[in-house]
Amino acid sequence: MTMSPKKITIALVGNPNSGKTTVFNNLTGARQHVGNWPGVTVERKEGNCSYQDYNINAVDLPGVYSLTAYSPDEVIARNFIVNEKPEVVVDIVDASNLERNLYLTVQLIELGVNLVVALNMTDIAKSRDYTINVDKLSELLGAPVVPMIASRKKGTEELLKQIVAEFEGKTNTSKIKLYYGSELEEHINELETIISGDEKLSHQFPPRWLAIKLLEEDKEVLQKIRGGTIRHEEILQAKDKSIAHLRSVLGDDAETIIAEERYGFISGLLKDVLKKPPIEPLTPSDKIDKVLVHRWLSIPIFLALMYGMFQFVFTLSVPFMDWIDGFFGWLGGYVSGVSPGWLGSLLADGIIGGVGSVLIFIPPIFLLFIATAFLEDCGYMARAAFIMDRLMHRIGLHGRSFIPMILGFGCNVAAIMACRTIEDPKDRLTTMLINPFMSCGARLPIYVLLASAFFTAHRGLVVFSMYLIGITVAIIMALILRRSILKGPSGHFVMELPPYRLPTITGVLVHMWERGRTFLIRAGTRIFGVVVLVWLLSSLPWGVEYASAGSVIGRIGSFIAPVLAPAGFDQWQAAVSLAFGFLAKEVVVGTMGAIFAVEEGVLGGAIATQLGWTPLIAFAFMVFCLLYVPCVASIATIRSETNSWRWAGFAALYTIVVAWIAATIVFQIGGLFI
């Protein structure tokens, strides 16, 4: 008789850059499921794997340094472990940086979870002449320790074996208790006793952990106590008394002493476990940093890297774009040949013209995602934050705000989400509000289309100028915001710089795909829908000439157009494209494609002849497209990240106003010279 496999739920936790994702991929292969954590837009990755008679469900938690719940990532990681109680917690530890990585391990031990330590990157530790006594480490941590080299898929089998052993309670280790010194222990025990008196509370959470967290004045735990027990007054009083007492005796806050004791435990442990060369030479990473974060060289190098990135993206995407363009040109001709009448019009004019003119930009957009993923994964992005910190201070922000700005070149949605790592609320809000001015990949179709049609000789320069205008406006707006509605000193810049690493191809591709997927889904659904809608509105009322001023779309456009007159582009076609462009910037081009019923290759020419635009009008239009609302998705992201419709609405409105002013200035002042 075969038994049905036993289910084990495990959580993967570890510092950022500990190789957690690689371990997760090794365990689960392609059987992954990506969702969102409830209430927040952090991705939740789950995967399955069968081992012997067990079906292991692995949940990949966000990379964190600590379980102190400063950032949403830490709250998610901790809540999952505390509330959902996975049967085994796998802590991925970087063997070449044990001291820092074990801090998280110690907190997991405090939580009393069933722990398996995956000692990853043992190859890097070895290359630095570190000798690690794995058995001793396991004994002192009270948990099985599995040496691994996840990047070369070594150690996965043994890890699975230990996970099962831990699940069945058949490991040869026994859990340890961290000792915080007699003074602290007295107070921990006292609180623990009171908490244990509440059956419901002590059943939900380990009482000793609650006691420690109370002494650390952990906000989340304080809330849990207030709402979770009738004895909260007694507990909180005892806590306040303990903290006051400890401060008078030890002269420091309990939280500082607790952190010191944890690091003290780790240092003591490492004396027995780790042997390393007495004088540590500079790591390869430090040597690279001698150049890349050099006082004078760093910024020229950064600019050169950015230039290289855009060169890479544009040069490499040309052949791919030609293929796609050729394909849609052929398809449009073929379809209108075989299916005449209104269906042919819908297919050829609407769908192929509209969607085709957007899909052609997949190569550069995906290459931008690859480039930014590479910069992030190799560790350079953190350096960029460091070298830009000084300049960012001048606009009232700090280095961390710089990373979302670069990510914005790929996609503002991803960039706005990345603002989560900025702790100060005003810093974070400012960084989110200026992010839409960083020209994302979806705006590229507009620039390329118009620059090629109107500025043949200088088209590269014109596209480049859009990026510069975007950055300039972002800086100006940051200065204004920090001096008006978001006044205040900039927050503190503390950031760990991971060692440089050559990213794996799969890693970068997965990273690219995570961001590119959203773009493709959008192109497949929203853009498709808009294009069909544009075609329909252009064809109604029945019998009207397709996309003429008399069609429904023409009338809508004519209604909006006068507002845009000061900026030069008061044609209804422009107004309609901009209106639909709220959905996504690339839709501006898609709408034009559907209105003029031509595909990408000749669309620029059609705009020039049929709208009678001058290069100046085209430029003003590009500036408007650059600056106004990036897309509904980015506004929705600002709403979910700030948890406020007001800020989302503000972001939408103020970007339109800024765009209108800037485009008008370009058109009016430009007109004086031309």
Partner 1 sequence: MNNHCLPLAMTAPGELVTISEISAGPGLQKKLADMGFTPGVQMRVINVQAPGPVLIDLRGSRVALGQGIAQKIAVKKV
Q: Which of 55, 66, 156, 204 binds partner 1 (CB under 8 A)?
A: 66
Query: Residue 81 or 638: which CB sits closer to partner 1?
Result: 81
One-letter identity of residue 629: V
The C-alpha atoms of residue 120 and residue 130 are separated, in whole angstroms, by 13
Q: Which of 180, 209, 374, 386 binds partner 1 (CB under 8 A)?
A: 386
The C-alpha atoms of residue 613 and residue 250 are separated, in whole angstroms, by 76
Query: Residue 387 or 432: which CB sits closer to partner 1?
Result: 387
Q: What are phi and psi of 148, to 5 degrees?
A: -145, 155
In a 3-state reduction of DSSP, which class is residue 649? Answer: helix
**Chain mean position to CA 442:** 17
Q: Which of 24, 37, 65, 582 binds partner 1 (CB under 8 A)?
A: 65
As measured in angstroms, the least distance from the Cβ of 256 to partner 1 is 5
The C-alpha atoms of residue 61 and residue 79 are separated, in whole angstroms, by 10
Taking alpha carbons only, the member of 429, 384, 397, 436 closest to residue 413 is 436
405 secondary structure, DSSP code: H
Q: Which of 31, 33, 175, 390 binds partner 1 (CB under 8 A)?
A: 390
Q: Any contact of residue 253 with partner 1 (CB under 8 A)?
A: yes
Instruction: Write the interaction track for partner 1 spanning residues 561-580; mark x where CB under 8 A is met and - where it is not.
Output: --------------------
Q: Any contact of residue 285 with partner 1 (CB under 8 A)?
A: yes
As measured in angstroms, the least distance from the Cβ of 501 to partner 1 is 13
Q: Any contact of residue 68 with partner 1 (CB under 8 A)?
A: yes
Query: Residue 98 or 375: which CB sits closer to partner 1?
Result: 98
Taking alpha carbons only, the member of 629, 631, 634, 626 closest to residue 662 is 626
As measured in angstroms, the least distance from the Cβ of 418 to partner 1 is 17
Query: Residue 297 or 653: which CB sits closer to partner 1?
Result: 297
C-alpha atoms less than 13 angstroms from C-alpha of 644 in its C-beta half-sphere: 11
- CB within 8 A of 658, min separation 6: which ones? 437, 473, 477, 627, 628
As measured in angstroms, the least distance from the Cβ of 94 to partner 1 is 9
Residue in the block written with tokens 């699940």: 167
- Residues in 470-529 that interact with partner 1 by CB under 8 A: 492-499
Using a 10 angstrom Cβ sphere, with 0-12 exposed, 13-18 middle and 19 or more buried, the burial of residue 38 is exposed
Query: Residue 293 or 608: which CB sits closer to partner 1?
Result: 293
Instruction: Write the interaction track for partner 1 spanning residues 398-417; mark x where CB under 8 A is met and - where it is not.
Output: xx------------------
As measured in angstroms, the least distance from the Cβ of 429 to partner 1 is 18
Of the ranges 165-173, 229-237, 359-367, 383-391, which one interacts with partner 1 (CB under 8 A)?
Answer: 383-391
- Residues in 130-169 that interact with partner 1 by CB under 8 A: none
Contact by Cβ (8 Å): 94, 26:
no
361 secondary structure, DSSP code: T
The C-alpha atoms of residue 196 and residue 190 are separated, in whole angstroms, by 10
Q: What are phi and psi of 170, to 5 degrees?
A: -115, 30
Q: Any contact of residue 389 with partner 1 (CB under 8 A)?
A: yes
Of the ranges 22-30, 249-257, 569-577, 618-626, which one interacts with partner 1 (CB under 8 A)?
Answer: 249-257
Residue ranges binding partner 1 (CB under 8 A): 65-66, 68, 70, 96-100, 103, 216, 253, 255-256, 259-260, 263, 285-286, 289, 293, 295, 382, 385-387, 389-390, 393, 398-399, 492-499
